[in-house]
A and B are shown apart, each in its own frame.
Chain A
C-alpha cells in the first residue's frame, strides 16, 4: 500500500486561503468517504481537523474545510493565521482493510 501523495510544502500570507491536496487511488481515497486530516504543530501530537472527507469536529474552526473529487481529497484553510503553521497529514481507509497516511505537507505562513 503506497502512501497518499501530498505536496511537501505550501505557503501563504495571513488572511489568504490555501489548499492541500491528497491524491490516492480508486482503492482508497476514490472508493471511500473515509478521509481524515490531522494538524501537527512542532513537538505536539497530531490533532484531528477533518473527518469523513468534510466533517469538522466541534472544536475546530470553520476556516478549515475538506472536500473530495475522484481520487483526490483536499483540505482548504481560509483566512490563514500564524497559528495555522504546522504539518498537515491526510489518511484514508483502503480496500485492503488498512489505513494509509499521506507523506505530510508543511504549511508556512509568510
Chain B
C-alpha cells in the first residue's frame, strides 16, 4: 500500500524557516518524480514544486521561487521542502504528491497524495 506521510508543519513567524518532510513507502520511491502542492484554508490547489526521480530537474511556482527548495533522499525514501523567509500567504496545508512518471516536466499526472501537514505563518 502506497503511503505518503508529511511532517514538519507548525506555527511560525513571518520571515522564519521551516522544513517539511515526506516519508514514502509502498512503492519504489526512486522510480518516480514527486511534488509539493498546497491548499490554503477554504481555497484552491496550488502547485508549489516538483523534482525528478534523480533530482536532476526541479521546478518552483513563481510565488515560492528563491525562497523554497525541494530535495529528496532516495536512500531514505524521503522528500523535503525547505521553506525560508516565510510569509503569511504561505499559510496552507502542504501535500506530498507522487507522480505517475519519473519526470515532473510536462503533464501533471499524479496518483497518490499524503494527508498533508499544516503550515501557519503568523506573528
Residues of B within 8 A of A64 (CB): none
Residue-wise, chain B 43-59 has the 8 Å CB interface mask toward A (1 for contact) of: 01111001000000001
How far, in angstroms, from A106 to B60 measured CA to CA in the complex? 27
Closest residue of chain B to A40 (Cβ to Cβ) is B45
Residues of A within 8 A of B11 (CB): none
Q: Do B105 and A51 touch across chains, with their CB atoms under 8 A apart?
A: no
Interface presence of A45 (CB below 8 A): yes
B116 to chain A, nearest CB (A): 9
Q: Do A98 and B111 touch across chains, with their CB atoms under 8 A apart?
A: no
How far, in angstroms, from A97 to B62 measured CA to CA in the complex? 10
Number of residues in A with C-beta < 8 Å to the partner? 26
Q: Do A101 and B44 touch across chains, with their CB atoms under 8 A apart?
A: yes
15 A-B pairs (CB sep. < 8 Å): A1-B61, A1-B62, A34-B106, A36-B108, A38-B45, A45-B113, A46-B113, A48-B110, A89-B45, A91-B45, A93-B106, A98-B61, A99-B47, A104-B44, A104-B45
How far, in angstroms, from A93 to B61 measured CA to CA in the complex? 11
Residues of B within 8 A of A35 (CB): 107
